[in-house]
Amino acid sequence: MKDFIDDDKIQHVLDISVRPEKKRVEDVLDKAKELKGLTPEETSVLLQTEDKELINEILITARFVKESIYGNRLVLFAPLYIANHCSNNCLYCGFRRANKELKRVALTMEEIAAEAQAIEAEGHKRILMLCGEHPTRSSLDYFIEAIETVYATTNFNGEIRRINVEVAPLEVEEFKRLKAAK
Ligand code: SF4
């Protein structure tokens, strides 16, 4: 996979919004209240604001945006870890490849179905499915099969209506396959 992160562009966006003037911050907040999103440069303006009063305005605006879009809704989901093999080595994570004490497991489809039924039995309707990054033990094919297994799994309490995912970086065609899984 080619590197799609443009370091120079990100640095430029950060550089042009260092110590933003009050008026600039207020303009960005006014735009945020329109609920149509912000550009990376506008987001950088807010992130680099140090004035305490303006930071308070950012918090007030963030609450306004959140409540306008989501209201007083709380959404719960149950995490479902289907495999813990990983070829990466993030220091904070127990799945990191250097962790030799971890017993590595990739659940079978039968085990994933059983986990889904247990989650459903608790009344959950939403799952966050995730695994480590590994080209063979946590392949996209495996992940898609797991999604299809969960959606096909029902019991007396209802069905899983939504599966959110955390996956390794994908190509556009791979994202399309993931989106089509049901
Ligand atoms: S599972 Fe994710 S966070 Fe953990 S080591 Fe692998 S890539 Fe890093």
C-alpha distances (whole Å) from 107 to each of 20, 82, 83 are 50, 5, 6
Kind plus residue range of the DSSP H or E element containing 39: none
Residue 39 pLDDT grade (very low, low, confident, very high; cuts 50, 70, 90) = very high
* Burial status of residue 38 (CB atoms within 10 A of its CB: 0-12, 13-18, 19 or more): middle
Q: Does the reported pTM lie above 0.85?
A: no
Nearest 5°: the CA angle 84, 5, 180 is 55
Q: What is the chain's length?
A: 182
Mean pLDDT to the nearest integer, 136-141: 88
Domain boundaries, the chain: 7-70, 78-180
Cβ atoms of 125 and 160 closer than 8 Å: yes
Does the C-beta of 96 come closer than 6 Å to ligand 1? yes
Above 90 in pLDDT, residue 75?
A: no
Q: What is the pLDDT of residue 4?
A: 80
Q: Which atom of ligand 1 is nearest to the CA of 87?
A: 6
Give the residue, out of 93, 99, 104, 170, with the most ligand 1 atoms within 8 A of its beta carbon, to mutate for a pocket test. Answer: 93
Residue identified by tokens 């039924």 is: 117
* CATH code that applies to domain 78-180: 3.30.750
Residue 90 pLDDT grade (very low, low, confident, very high; cuts 50, 70, 90) = very high
